[in-house]
Amino acid sequence: MDLTVVIPSVGLRALLRTCLAQLDVALRSLEGLAAIAVVVDNGSTPPYGSGELGGGFEHVRFDVPRSFSVACNAGASCRPASRFLFLNNDVLLLPEALREMMEQLDRAGPGVCGTRLVLPDDTIQHCGVRFDAGPRGPFHIHHGRPSAIVPRHHAPFQAVTGAAMLIDGALFKTLGGFDPMYPFGYEDVDLCLRARQLGAPVFCAQSHDTLHLESTSSRDPNRHSASRKLFFERWGGRYTVDGDREG
């Protein structure tokens, strides 16, 4: 099995080094896995220098920042693989979480698998996405609740976050990757819904809590507005309503 890990990143050198170091530990824990990380320098000023982030990965550079979708697709094109792991630079992936994600796809077949993510205060950032009938649409269930009291259900979902998303390589190619029309946000939900249209399963590994320093790169409260508008234009009324309950 071969795996390409794609990490879009802008600046935040110390954080990226920590992300890569933790990823290296996770990858080394899996025997028989041929893995390579691809860092997509998405317009950092100054650019990432040779050797400053360590070694053992490949490097793609955009001089002008592009969307998350474009950055991820470029990284995947750089190193085609049996599976892709898309990882935010502010996610410190646990080895046990990566192993569980891989095992989920081994059992379920070609599909998509996310993982349970917690904030620094040990509350839930992501443990699956549900869909409300109202204007909220897709939402992270249990967001902000203490992880210790949130059940670890291993049920399928309609979508998971792209902050730490494992996907079958052939499926990703069939889907044409992330839709580059999304400026920022909702491209992960769009990808999952398109995967489900093809009959591919979507899961979230729940047994382990991986730290996510959510939205370290951007604190703009309106950063999702354009993508949200596009998402509802395309998917409004076309997804299954899970209900507005949180659990």
Is 64 part of a structural domain of the chain?
yes
Confidence grade of residue 56 (pLDDT, cut at 50, 70, 90): confident
- pLDDT digit string, tens, across residues 38-48: 999 999 999 99
Residue 115 pairs with which residues in a beta bridge?
Answer: 205
> What pTM was estimated for this model as a whole?
0.94
* pLDDT above 70: residue 218: no
**What is residue 134's predicted lDDT score, i.e. its pLDDT?**
84
> How many domains are there within the chain?
1
* pLDDT above 70: residue 219: no
- pLDDT digit string, tens, across residues 89-113: 999 999 999 999 999 999 999 999 9
Give the dihedral of Cα atoms 1, 28, 209, 92; nearest 10 deg: -110
* pLDDT above 80: residue 36: yes
Mean pLDDT of the chain, nearest integer: 93
Is 244 part of a structural domain of the chain?
no
Render 138-160 in DSSP notation, one character per residue. Answer: EEETTTTSBGGGS-------SB-
Tell me the residue range of the domain where 92 lies: 2-235
**What is residue 217's predicted lDDT score, i.e. its pLDDT?**
54
Q: Is 118 within 8 Å of 125 (Cβ atoms)?
A: yes
Is 247 part of a structural domain of the chain?
no
Confidence grade of residue 133 (pLDDT, cut at 50, 70, 90): confident
Is 240 part of a structural domain of the chain?
no
Tell me, what CATH number does 224's domain have? Answer: 3.90.550.10
State the amino acid at position 90 in one-letter form: D
**What is residue 223's predicted lDDT score, i.e. its pLDDT?**
76
**What is residue 243's predicted lDDT score, i.e. its pLDDT?**
65
- pLDDT digit string, tens, across residues 138-182: 999 999 999 999 999 888 999 999 999 999 999 999 999 999 999
* pLDDT above 70: residue 215: no
